[in-house]
Structure 1
Amino acid sequence: MDPNSLLAALLLGIIEGVTEFLPISSTGHLLLAGRWLGARSDLFNVAIQAGAILAVVLVYRQRLWQLLAGFRERGNRDYAFKLAVAFGVTAVLGLAVKAAGWQLDDAVAPIAWALVLGGAWMLAAEHFAARRASILGERADITWLVAVLVGVAQVVAGVFPGTSRSAATIFVALLFGITNRAAATEFAFLVGIPTMFAATGYEVVELYAEGGLAGEDWNALAVAFVASAVTAFVSVKWLLRYIQSNRFTAFAIYRFGLGAALLAFA
């Protein structure tokens, strides 16, 4: 057992857990961290993502049970169908993108620009959501248009490393109808559960078919999985409290700073 390998796995698990659901791009951070901590197997990347999914399921376990147990109620049924539509749009477009083989490489410059442009997108979305709220009042209802666009946003985030799935989905919701940050965040995170479970399962099946499960460092993988789950749970709980009284401006500034530093490095 290599202590250095375990330490690197721990750090990568923490990075995944912290960045997966904060609007700062887990993919971008992991690609960059991998340059210093060493590249990891596809199974390793799947495992730490699974840890983050488990965390958000635990955070939203009461809401998920409410939707399941109260499915006969119109409000819960309508919300569940909108989650299904968003997931369906992601699944169809995601498979089409994968079949077309369209994917950007992991070069630093595109990730940096995605971080910067994503920060600008966040500021614009919050600005227009605030203006709309001042005129029309608080809006927390998910529309069918928002559900469809959230599905599209997930695919865009998957194609462009550095975009951030959570940022793309939260802020497309804020731009196209919702003015309540908590409502936009909840829908984005809930639709991320089936999306990430499906993507993880798809990748595991592909790896198994290709013999990619052999020769794995299972100790390092277990350490990374647990680290990702614990830190994602803490991060999501913190974010949900933070947005009750704060805007996402700090995350946009962070993205600008990191993007500028990466462009200078590149």
Structure 2
Amino acid sequence: MTDLLAALLLGIIEGITEFLPISSTGHLLIAERWLGHRSDLFNIAIQAGAILAVVVIYRQRLWQLADSFLHPAQAAPVHGQAPRDYAFKLAVAFGVTAVLGLVVKKLGFELPEDVAPVAWALVLGAAWMLLAEHFAAKRAVVLGERSNITWTVAILVGVAQVVAGVFPGTSRSAATIFVALLFGVTSRAAATEFAFLVGIPTMFAATGYELLHVAREGGLAGEDWNALAVAFVASAVTAFIAVKWLLRYIQTHRFTAFAVYRFVVGAALLLLVPAR
């Protein structure tokens, strides 16, 4: 397999898995065993491509939130609440993630490279998703459709992002969406949108932080820029398609199919681990 083809496949994997609740980090750790380990800069670039796709998709919502500070009297509500309140809750969720994320970094945490922890995270995450959606559905019957983001949800979403970063295979999108569903939001669409929007500054900040680290360590030299460009574009395009599809899918479907996929993949990996 050529290096460009391997880069293309890794970009596609990142784009598909970054925002679907199936764990991009876990899939990339597994894929790199067959496609080859890449530089930190490469991994940063393909993540940035996925972020760019979500910014494009939510450009109108982002403009609405920004414009609400300039023209508050004309601002339309966002999921039943004032757009500035919604923006402040996004900021709180990001702030919690940033503070706890820095603490984790200072403690010297590094992502495991073994398959077993990823496999267990996929399986346990599948069970968590099924239970969370079950209880969220029961709450929806009692409380009706609730799309309002509370301060408690905002804080817990911030915590969930850090937990997902510490345990590869957990999935940042799954952790944040289901925390929102369990602690106040009954609308899948509202929970998903908040999770994706708070992911934008979170992932931009993480990308910038890692990029500075790579630059200081001299990691920019010797990079295969052609492969990096191919992977970046592949990640952006596939992430755009994946997110647009997911937003339509959840309007009429639960997340059950993703839980089943996680369980099957995680169980298959656990069976393969002893043979490695």
Shorter chain as denominator, the TM-score bin is: over 0.9
CA deviation string 1:164-217 (max 9, x = no partner): 000000001011111000000000000000000000000010111110100000
Q: 1:50 aligns with which of 39, 48, 52?
A: 48
Map 1:85-164 → 2, pairs under 5 A: 85-164=92-171
Matched-pair contact (CA < 8 Å) for 1:67–1:80:
yes
AA aligned opposite 2:27: H
RMSD: 0.9
**Aligned match of 2:241 in 234, 237, 244?**
234
For 2:167 and 2:183, the matched residues in 1 are separated by 21
Structure 1 distance, partners of 2:259, 2:7, is 28
- Show structure 2 runs of 5+ residues with no match: 76-80
Q: SS in structure 2 opposite 1:70?
A: helix
* Partner residue, 1:214: 221
Q: In 2, Cα distance between the equivalents of 1:146 and 1:133? A: 16
Q: 1:174 aligns with which of 178, 181, 186?
A: 181
**What does residue range 27-42 of structure 1 map to in structure 2 within 5 Å?**
27-42=25-40
Match of 2:85 in 1: 78
Which stretch of structure 1 is more off in the superposition, 66-75 or 16-25?
Answer: 66-75
Equivalent AA in structure 2 for residue 166 of structure 1: S
TM-aligned CA deviation for residue 106 of structure 1: 1.7
Task: Measure, in 2, the Cα distance between the counterparts of 1:182 and 1:235.
Answer: 15
Query: Cα distance, 1:96 vs. partner?
Result: 0.3
Segments ≥4 residues shifted beyond 3 Å: none
> Residue 104 of structure 1: CA displacement?
4.3
Instruction: Please report how far the alpha carbon of residue 116 of structure 1 lies from its aligned counterpart in structure 2 after TM superposition.
Output: 0.6
Q: CA deviation at 1:70?
A: 1.9
> For 2:2, what is the secondary structure of its paired residue?
helix
Aligned residue for 1:61? 59
Would you say the 8 A contact 1:139–1:177 is kept in 2? yes
Q: In 2, are the aligned partners of 1:106 and 1:161 still within 8 Å (CA)?
A: no
- In the superposition, the TM-score normalised over structure 2's length comes to 0.94
Distance 2:135 2:263 in 1: 20
Amino acid at match of 2:3: S
The whole-number CA distance in structure 1 between the counterparts of 2:260 and 2:51 is 26
- Partners in 2 of 1:152 and 1:141 — Cα distance? 19
User: What is the aligned partner in structure 1 of residue 195 from structure 2?
Assistant: 188
SS of 2:252's partner is coil
Find the residue that maps to 1:157 and give its secondary structure.
helix
Aligned to 1:244: 251
Q: TM-score, normalised by structure 1?
A: 0.98
Name the stretch that deviates more: 123-132 or 218-227.
Answer: 123-132
Q: 1:88-129, CA deviations, whole angstroms, 9 ceiling, x for partnerless residues?
A: 000000000110113341211110000011111111111111
Describe the shift of the 1:197–1:104 C-alpha distance in structure 2 as closer, same or farther (beyond 3 A): closer
In the other structure, the counterpart of 2:12 is: 14
What stretches of structure 1 of length at least 5 have no aligned partner? none
Within the candidate set 260, 263, 266, 2:267 is matched to: 260
